[in-house]
Structures are given as structure tokens and as C-alpha cells.
Amino acid sequence: MKYVSTRGSAAALDFQGVTLAGLASDGGLYVPQSWPRFTEGEIADMAGLPYAELAVRVMAPFVAGSLSEEELRDLCTRAYGSFAHDAVTPLVQFDQQHWLLELFHGPTLAFKDVALQLLGRLFEHFLSRSDDHLTIVGATSGDTGSAAIDAVAGRERIDIFMLHPEGRVSDVQRRQMTTVLAPNVHNIAIDGSFDDAQAMVKHMFVDPEMTGKYRITAVNSINWARLMAQVVYYFAAALQLGVPQRKIAFSVPTGNFGDVFAGYVAAQMGLPIERLVVATNINDILHRALSSGDYSAGAVTPTAAPSMDIQVSSNFERLLFDAGGRDGPALAEQMRGFETNSAMQLTNAQRQGAAGLFTSARANAAEMELAMAWAAQHCGEIIDPHTAIGLHAARHAQIDPAVPVVTLATAHPAKFGDAVEKATGQHPELPARMGDLFDREERYDRLPGTYDAVRDFVAGNATQSA
């Protein structure tokens, strides 16, 4: 499988190349040259497979040429063996139409583990082939950071630098990152927002002074391998609920548009998806873009669902590329306009391409709390604030009652215990394996919100590439 950049001028790469590169050299994001497609019979044959084996079936076409089926199976078995639940992503019922897909049984209690436990092992596997060294630079609004750090802590050929907006992640989220004391882990608290931090990371990828010396890569969902791994649980849930004999819908708490784009990929591969509901909080650039074509970033407003407090959704570019006719040069120009003005209009082709599959909805704080209270009172389920935004959107999306709607549970409620208690009166406990989180030693550096400060810090602490 070959991958092309959404901005049309970077060279096409194979799976190993895009995994190690992260962002394309022209500033774009990699997507497969064409979508592999399963027949209805092939999808029916996947029913009942263990998760790791399903992962091999779904991902095999994407890694072709870079990994043998045996290598892929070994990596998946080890990655999904790190989960605390044998089903990996179990499905729970709310009512006759609504379901919950629990994606938080990995080591750091958010859905990001599903992809990052695999990505850490992919990095190690590919680096050992060339005896090279990798410098991971990432920005996190909370959950990516801990999941990435857990996935690479202590691995010899990797240094990780993780930026988080100081004071804007929850105590549990911060401690899950800063209490990992492995020498290859560098946590940096930035004086600024998540978008500021993400902009610095993107800048570093195109800074020749850095890319000339270090093999810098991303673990943000701009890395294709992450999206690929997330496609698997759309298949897992759909097969449980009777696909391909019926259609299915998903509601996805959305920030950077990575998770819901994986649903779009599943649909391109033949999974009969009726609707993908893009659920946002009051930071609603995606809701505005999908409902009116207006993609314009405002200031970020902090909410009780911090992993969705995002105004610029990197992966949206992948949808604009694919739905808009795959015109790299035109998209490059459109994105340059966005980078200058923080605003752009979607083209008619992009709007129509998205409208076939996507619906969007936005939830404010009161709606989020009501959804948490409904789940607790009517179904005995305690859900986290992000998941609650997804559930609110699912229940208001007016989906045909014959179509099951699966809300993705993106985080364990104990990661956001105070917000959950406020809405439900119940305080969710951390799983026993994390009971001592608040007793562990923390370590991190604070830096001003400037690119130069971050660049100098990374240059002073990273290992140069071979």
C-alpha cells in the first residue's frame, strides 16, 4: 500500500515510511492512495473473531509491503494483550436503540491506548530494522500524552517530548504523564493553550534545523497508523450488532477529528454505516463547518471535556481531501488560506462529500450533565463528560429507530471524577491498578509558550538520528 499527502507535493511512502514520518514534508497528512474494500461476504466472515485477529484482518491491506501477516499478528497480540478486558472494546447496552462502546480498558483509561499500544510496538519494530533513533514530539490536551508515554516509556531507540497546556488538563491526566520517570520521557508544561502547543509541534516538523538532525515524528492522530488502528473497533462493534445484515450508526465525541475519521475509513472499506454523528462541546468549529460550511477558528473555551477543547481539528484535512475530490494542490492553497486567516469556506464538493455520512451536534455544559444523569438513572451506567457529549448527540440525531446507534466511550469516568460526581452524585473510583496515582512522584519542566524555547529544550535533550 502506498500513501499520498493531502497537499499533493510530498513523495508517496509505504506504511513503514508514513508511520515513522507522521506529518508529510509538504505540511499535509498521509492517506492511502486508494481505499481497500471488503465484500459483504468478507465482512460476514469476520464475525466472532477475537479482537487481535479482527485487527489483523482489518489492517492487513494497509500494512501490505511493510509487515508480513505474522509480524502484524505478533504486534496486535502483544498490543491488545495489555488491555484489562478480554473483549478489548466491550459493548454495553443503554436502551433498545443505544449502545456504548467502551474504549477505555487500556493502560491509561482512554481510547487513545487502542492505537498507541500498537504504534509504540510498530515504532520499535521498524527502528530495529534500521538501528535508528526516533524523537517523538507531541502536544496533548490530556489523553494522548499519557497514552503515548505509556506506549514508549523505557524503549531504547525512542525519546518522547510531550507538551501540555499548563493547568488545562485534569490532575489525573497530568499525573498519568508526569509520574512516568523513565529517562526517555520528557513532559513539558506550556504557558498557552492546546492549539498553541500543537502549532509548535507542527512548526518543528517543517523546521530544517531540527529535521536535519533528528528523526522527528508525531504521535498525534495526524499519524496514519493511529487512525488505522481505530478503524478496527468500528468493525468490532458493528459485527456484534448484526452487520452486514443491517446498518449501524456511531456517535463520536470529537476533538481533532481522528476517531470519527476512522469511522469514515471503515465506511469506505465497506462497513454499512448509516451515519457518523460528530459530537462537539461548545468549541464547535466542526459543528459549524459541517452544518454551514464555515470553518473558522475562534478562541478555545475550557470545558469539563478538555480533550475536546480544540478549535483546529488537524484530521479534518483528510476528510476535505477525500470528500473534495483528492485535489492536493487545491487543498494546499485552501489550507494556506486557513493558516493565514484562521477561517475558510468549504467547497460545495467538500460539503456534499461530507453530508452523505456525517451529521453534527453540539452539547453545552447543561446538556452534557443531563446525559450523564440519564445514563446513571436509567441505565445504571456512569459515563465520563466526553462520552456524555457523544450520548447527547446520539439521542438527538434523529436516526431511524431500526438502526442501532453506538456512542463511543472515549474515557473512563474516573479520569474526570469531579465532573462526574457533580452530574450524578456518584464518585467513580480509579481501577485498583492505578489506586496509588496520587502518591507517586511527579516530574516535568515548565516552558514559556514560544517555539524557540521548545526547540532549544528538545535539541538539548534528544538523541540525533543515525
**Binding interface with ligand PLP (CB under 6 A):** 110, 112, 142-143, 221, 253-259, 307-308, 386, 410-411
* Cβ at position 80, least distance to ligand PLP in Å: 19
Do 181 and 157 form a contact (C-beta atoms < 8 A)?
no
* Cβ at position 170, least distance to ligand PLP in Å: 10
Q: How far from 359 is each of 280, 293, 394, 423, CA to CA, in Å?
A: 11, 13, 10, 26
Cα(340)–Cα(347) distance, rounded to whole angstroms? 18
Is the CA virtual torsion 197, 202, 207, 208 positive or negative? positive
Cα(196)–Cα(58) distance, rounded to whole angstroms? 35
Instruction: Locate 361 and state its grid cell.
Output: 451536534
Give me the count of residues in the chain.
466
* Cβ at position 390, least distance to ligand PLP in Å: 8
Classified as helix, coil or strand, 79 is: helix
* Cβ at position 271, least distance to ligand PLP in Å: 18
Instruction: Locate 237 and state its grid cell.
Output: 462493534
Catalytic residue selected from 2, 112, 247, 415 = 112
Measured from the CB atom, is 66 or 311 closer to ligand PLP?
Answer: 311
| Helices 258-268, 316-323: crossing angle, 10 deg rounding | 30
* Cβ at position 208, least distance to ligand PLP in Å: 29
Measured from the CB atom, is 20 or 172 closer to ligand PLP?
Answer: 172
Q: Look at the block and give the residue holding cell 469516568.
A: 413
Residue 408 φ then ψ, to 5°: -80, 120
Cα(248)–Cα(229) distance, rounded to whole angstroms? 20
* Cβ at position 270, least distance to ligand PLP in Å: 22
Measured from the CB atom, is 66 or 424 closer to ligand PLP?
Answer: 424
Residue 213: active-site member: no
Q: How far from 169 is each of 146, 174, 211, CA to CA, in Å?
A: 11, 6, 29
| Helices 316-323, 328-341: crossing angle, 10 deg rounding | 140
Cα(63)–Cα(358) distance, rounded to whole angstroms? 27
Contacts of 175 (CB under 8 A, 6+ apart): 437, 438, 440, 442
* Cβ at position 139, least distance to ligand PLP in Å: 12
Cα(239)–Cα(231) distance, rounded to whole angstroms? 13
Measured from the CB atom, is 135 or 254 closer to ligand PLP?
Answer: 254
CA distance between the termini of the chain: 26
Measured from the CB atom, is 113 or 458 closer to ligand PLP?
Answer: 113
* Cβ at position 119, least distance to ligand PLP in Å: 14
Measured from the CB atom, is 99 or 111 closer to ligand PLP?
Answer: 111
Cα(74)–Cα(77) distance, rounded to whole angstroms? 5
Measured from the CB atom, is 170 or 187 closer to ligand PLP?
Answer: 170
Measured from the CB atom, is 324 or 413 closer to ligand PLP?
Answer: 413
Measured from the CB atom, is 105 or 112 closer to ligand PLP?
Answer: 112
H or E element, residue 248: strand 248-253
The amino acid at 177: M
Q: For residue 292, how many C-alpha atoms fall within 13 Å in the half-sphere facing its CB?
A: 8
Cα(329)–Cα(350) distance, rounded to whole angstroms? 15
- DSSP annotation of 414 reads G
* Cβ at position 284, least distance to ligand PLP in Å: 13
- The residues assigned a catalytic role are 112
